[in-house]
């Protein structure tokens, strides 16, 4: 299912992921952060020059830098520090690189009380996007003690001045989890598209692979202006209807462009039988 909705209605329309600790799960959106923790502006420059980082490159290769955590710098290019998001100020404390089940991966180790409230997350680098292109994404997950949600999300430059954005948000719920402030070489960004994967098995002690194909919009109207998607990121979020501490693991983040804008449909692959999309603003 694909859907679009006005940006300023987002606080009322779009949930993406949180959970209650007793009776279920409330899903809320999580916006992306800039490159963090060893992935600073110099790394953003490196990403832009990376052979996989070209928005207009031909279909084929994995666009996620260090998607299998093979770089000698732990968690290189991944984003897990969100000091500007009230909900995830402490997230950086929960993420580290380990080897689990024979794979280099990100470990999300949540203290007691966290999974049943805000949860934890890790996101790939901001990958240059080609408007209107179709992509295939996948992630390997070992959820162990918790459940997880996986999303592919697209961001565009936010055309609203800071003063306007602040004034608009003062009238309702702040959407900091859907925005990225200007830093690390990019301007202020706003989420305009989100594609949800089929959920990986919860409390699984083996590696499970989830996949998703999606087409990002050519453009989208934000605050009266047409903007184009500039970046894509893949996000893994951990949660659970529990107050207990625990761990989950993620690796092999992949993003491959499979169809140019306006091209004939790409061959189908053995992905999930059903999926959910949400276009976000």
pTM: 0.77
pLDDT level of residue 61 (50, 70, 90 thresholds): very high
239 assigned to some structural domain = yes
**pLDDT of 17 over the 50 cut:** no
pLDDT digits 0-9 by tens, 102-152: 999 999 999 999 999 989 999 999 999 999 999 999 999 999 999 999 999
2 assigned to some structural domain = no
151 assigned to some structural domain = yes
User: What's the whole-number mean pLDDT along residues 223-237?
Assistant: 96
Is residue 152 a contact partner of residue 195, using CB atoms and an 8 Å limit? yes
213 assigned to some structural domain = yes
219 assigned to some structural domain = yes
Rg of the chain on CA atoms, in Å:
18
Number of domains in the chain: 1
135 assigned to some structural domain = yes
Domain that holds residue 105: 7-278
Question: Any idea what the CATH number is for the domain that residue 35 is in?
Answer: 2.60.120.260
User: What's the whole-number mean pLDDT along residues 227-254?
Assistant: 97
1 assigned to some structural domain = no
54 assigned to some structural domain = yes
User: What's the whole-number mean pLDDT along residues 14-40?
Assistant: 33
């Amino acid at each position: 299912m694909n859907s679009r909705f006005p940006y300023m209605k987002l606080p009322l329309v779009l949930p993406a992921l949180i959970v209650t600790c007793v009776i279920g799960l409330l899903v809320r959106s999580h916006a992306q952060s800039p490159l963090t923790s060893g992935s600073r502006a110099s790394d953003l420059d490196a990403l832009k020059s990376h052979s996989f980082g070209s928005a207009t490159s031909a279909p084929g290769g994995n666009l996620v830098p260090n998607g299998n955590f093979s770089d000698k710098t732990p968690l290189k290019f991944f984003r897990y520090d969100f000091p500007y998001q009230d909900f995830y100020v402490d997230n950086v404390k929960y993420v580290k690189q380990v080897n689990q089940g024979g794979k280099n991966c990100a470990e999300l180790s949540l203290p007691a009380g966290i999974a049943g409230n805000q949860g934890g997350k890790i996101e790939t680098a901001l990958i240059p996007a080609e408007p209107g292109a179709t992509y295939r994404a996948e992630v390997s997950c070992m959820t162990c003690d918790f459940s997880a949600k996986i999303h592919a999300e697209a961001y565009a430059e936010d055309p609203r001045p800071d003063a306007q954005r602040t004034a608009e948000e003062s009238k309702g719920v702040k959407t900091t989890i859907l925005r990225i402030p200007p830093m690390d070489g990019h301007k202020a960004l706003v989420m305009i598209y989100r594609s949800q994967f089929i959920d990986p098995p919860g409390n699984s002690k083996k590696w499970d692979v989830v996949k998703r194909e999606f087409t990002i919009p050519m453009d989208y109207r934000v605050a009266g202006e047409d903007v184009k998607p500039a970046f894509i990121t893949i996000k893994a979020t951990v949660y659970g209807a529990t107050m207990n501490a625990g761990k989950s693991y993620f690796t092999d983040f992949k993003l491959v462009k499979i169809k140019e804008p306006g091209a004939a449909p790409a061959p189908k692959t053995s992905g999930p039988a059903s999926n959910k999309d949400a276009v976000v603003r």
